[in-house]
Amino acid sequence: MQVSANLGFLYTDLPLPARIRAAASDGFDAVECHFPYAHDPAEIRSALEATGLSMLALNTRPGDQGAGEFGLAALPGRSDDARAAVAQAVSYGAAIGAGAVHVMAGRSGAAAGAEAAFRDTLAHACDLAAPHGMTILIEPINTRDVPGYHLTSLEQAAGTIAALGRDNLKIMFDCYHLQILQGDLTRRFAEHLPLIGHVQIAAVPDRGEPDAGELCYAGLLRGFREAGYRGAVGAEYRPRGGATRAGLGWLPPLRAALDAP
C-alpha cells in the first residue's frame, strides 16, 4: 500500500517543487496537493520526474476563500465558475501527469438545486477527465470544520455516483472527516469499496500526525487491505509541531504494519 504525502499540509515552508523532493527524501511513495496553480506545471512535472514520484491528485480551486467559499461545484447559479475550475484542474493535472482531480462541492447550505448543480458539474468533469485517463474524486467533508458543506456522508456520495453512472467518478475516503461525520469506518469502507478511489488519513480529533487520537491506523488500514483495497493512502494532516520532518516518526511503524502478512 503506497503512502502519499499531501503537500497542501506538509512541508509548507518550502516551494511546491522542493516539497516534492523533500517527500521523496523522507521515504514517501507518492504525493498529492491542493491548489498548485501558482506554479508552472513544467516545473512540477520536472520535480516529479526527477524524484520518480507520481502526483496522485489535486483539487479544483475553492473559489473566493476570503468570502468563505470552499468549492464551487454544488453552488446553484455558479455553473460557469465551477466548469472553469474543473477545466483548469484537468488541464493542469494532465500537464503534470496527475491521476485524479478532487472536485470540491462547496458550501451549498442545502440550497435548492444544489445537488442538481453538483451532478451537472461532475458529469462535465468526468467527460473532460476521461480522455486523459484521470479519475474524478468527490469527498464527504465534516461540517464541524466546514459548516454548510454540500457532501456530508458516504451514502450521499454513493447516490451521486449511482445517478451519474460514470466509471471515472469515485469517492475520496478521508478517514478524518468520516470518523467525525459517521464513524464505523471498517464496515463502511468494505460496503463502499467498489466506489472508493483514494484514502486519506489524519488523527482525530486534532488532525495531527496519524499516530494518536481515536483511530488506530495500523489496524484500520490492515482492515482496508483485507477488504480488497490496493490503492494509496494519503497523509493529509497538519503537523502538530509545525515542522513536517520532526513529526515523521509515525511513518516507519505504519509502513511496517501495512507490509506485515
| Positions marked active-site | 139, 236
CA angle 101-103-107, nearest 5°? 155
Closest by Cα among 117, 120, 89 to 103: 89
Establish whether the linkage from the previous residue to 205 is cis, with ω within 30° of 0.
Answer: yes
* Cα–Cα nearest to 210, from 224, 200, 225, 222: 200
* Amino acid identity for residue 79 in this structure: S
Q: What angle do CA 38, 43, 48 make, to 5 degrees?
A: 115
Q: Are strands 57-59 and 100-102 parallel, antiparallel or unpaired?
A: parallel
What order of strands is seen across the sheet that includes strand 57-59? 30-32, 3-6, 233-235, 196-201, 169-174, 135-138, 100-102, 57-59
Grid cell digits, residue 41: 506545471
| 30 burial level (CB within 10 Å; 0-12, 13-18, 19+) | buried
What is the grid cell recorded at 208?
495531527
